[in-house]
Amino acid sequence: MCGATKGGLSLDGIDVAKESVIQGQVLRGDEPVGNAYVRLLDRTGEFTAEVPTSATGHFRFFAAPGEWTLRTLAPQAETVDKQVVAQKGVVAEVAIPI
Amino acid sequence: MSRDTALVTADWVQEHLDDPKVVLVEVDEDTTSYDKGHIKGAIKLDWTTELQDQVRRDFVNKQQFEALLSGKGVGNDNTVVLYGGNNNWFAAYAYWYFKLYGHQDVKLLDGGRKKWELDSRELTDELPKREATTYTAQEQDKSIRAFRDEVVESIGVQNLVDVRSPDEYAGRLLAPAHLPQEQAQRAGHIPTAANVPWSKAANDDGTFKSDDELKQLYTEAGVDWGKDTIAYCRIGERSSHTWFVLRELLGQQKVKNYDGSWTEYGSLVGVPVALGDEAGEA
């Protein structure tokens, strides 16, 4: 389980220079949402991957450089789409309010 | 088979939670999901340790499968309802596996664990107690399982459906973006295979699209309904999802799942491989 420290998931053990990381947290107000699903869609809207959020509402993808959409589904919430740009060597941090 | 016999809704499962004939079985890619909460009464199957031979790359044999289900308290006359995470990838894999060993009454929970959770339905960490049974499996039904030689011979002859993501199909990636890159020696796809990512068959909440939408999807991708079909992916789990759609929902009789899939094919010596977004020539 990842730590819930401010500033996002721990990057211990990840060679950030080699990866195009997209990560973040799903929040309802100030409360993390631990039972949400985050889908990674490519620039054409095609499904690429999906992860359930951790108990602290966090998620992470190892993407490729480019434009992506994060689609978040959670109980009793509307679906939320957020655009994000991934770059090699950069960790894109995304907060998703629902 | 059809949607009515192969698929059940979350409401149906809710109504049958205390039905002694029904056995709920959770199968997840993340084998710890069950331990964090599962549907009341559900037992767990670990696809890595319980459905795979631990020495060679193959499934557990008939006797091992019998011992597994007997120990789990599953009887031959039970209605087995499978569900899991990742839009039912591994639950569909287990469905195919149960069919392979001849279980008569097996169903998939439409939408799997995700739909159940998004509906805010109850999960429990209470472990069910089931009496051991004496389960008898059938010999493997090879009419639903494809092996490498048949796959090579099917190039340009049968429908080949590659259900991986477009980037994996084209050879730009060797595995899905959120998984370890378990790798074949070469990237790409089997020449003439149509690329129909499994995800196109499912809605965002993990439920299957309607029969009409599904039929149109595969027709537009070039699937010839008069021919036999082999579905493959990377290790055979996503293609189980598509096998389920083609055979169990759409009623195509001659559909096989190639569980060796790209991790086998992409490491074979001397077989043809196509790169890029086009299907390629036979």
This model of the complex carries an ipTM of 0.82
The range of the structural domain enclosing residue B54 comes to 3-140
Q: Which of B114, B120, B199 sits opposite A37 (nearest CB)?
A: B114
* Cβ neighbours for B107, distance < 8 A, ≥ 6 positions apart: B5, B6, B7, B8, B79, B80, B81, B82, B95
Q: How far apart are CA B209 and CA B265, in angstroms?
A: 30
Q: What is the pLDDT of residue B44?
A: 96
Count how many pairs of residues, chain A against chain B, have C-beta atoms within 8 Å: 51
Considering the domain architecture, whether residues B7 and B135 belong to the same structural domain is answered as yes
Residues 6+ apart with CB under 8 A from B138: B62, B101, B102
| Mutant choice from A19, A35, A81 vs B, greatest count of B C-beta within 10 A | A35
Q: How confident is the model at residue A1 (pLDDT cuts 50, 70, 90)?
A: very low
CB atoms within 10 A of CB A10: 12
* pLDDT at residue B11, as a whole number: 97
Asked whether residue A19 carries a pLDDT value surpassing 50, the answer given is: yes
Cβ contact, residue pair B118, A51, below 8 Å: no
Final residue in a domain of this structure, among B76, B109, B140 = B140
B76 classed as catalytic: no
Nearest to B106 by CA among B138, B146, B132, B142: B138
Give A17-97's CATH code, choosing from 2.60.40.10, 3.40.50.1110, 1.10.3720.10, 2.30.40.10. Answer: 2.60.40.10
Residue that has been written with the tokens 């809710």 in this structure: B14
What average pLDDT does range A4-31 have in this prediction? 80
- Chain A contact present for B117, CB below 8 A: yes
Which of A35, A37, A46 lies closest to B166 in CB terms?
A46
CA distance A39 to A52: 9
In a domain, residue B274? The reply is no
Task: Grade residue A7 by pLDDT with cuts at 50, 70 and 90.
Answer: low
pLDDT range class, residue A2, cuts 50, 70, 90: very low
Rg (CA), chain B: 18
Which has the closest alpha carbon to B162: B188, B141, B140? B188
Instruction: Provide φ and ψ at B161, rounded to 5°.
Output: -120, 115
Tell whether B49 and B117 lie within a shared domain.
yes
Segment holding A31, helix H or strand E: strand A31-32
Residues B113 and B185 in one domain: no
Which chain A residues are within 8 Å of B197, Cβ to Cβ? 46-47
pLDDT tens series, chain B, 282 aa: 789 999 999 999 999 999 999 999 999 988 888 998 999 999 999 998 999 999 999 999 999 999 999 999 999 999 999 999 889 999 999 999 999 999 999 999 999 999 999 999 999 999 999 999 999 999 999 999 999 999 999 999 999 999 998 889 999 888 776 665 568 999 999 999 999 999 999 999 999 999 999 999 999 999 999 999 999 999 999 999 999 999 999 999 999 999 999 999 999 999 999 999 999 998
Last residue of a domain, one of B106, B140, B174: B140
**CB–CB contact A73 B114 (8 Å):** yes
Q: Which residues of A touch B86 (CB under 8 A)?
A: 50
Query: And the tokens for A4?
Result: 């819930």
CA distances for B98 relative to B43, B62, B135, angstroms = 15, 11, 12
Residues B135 and B158 in one domain: no
Catalytic residue of the set B80, B94, B190, B233: B233
Distance CA B8, CA B108 (A): 6
Residues B130 and B149 in one domain: no
Domain co-membership, B237 together with B149:
yes
Contact A51 B178 (CB under 8 A): yes
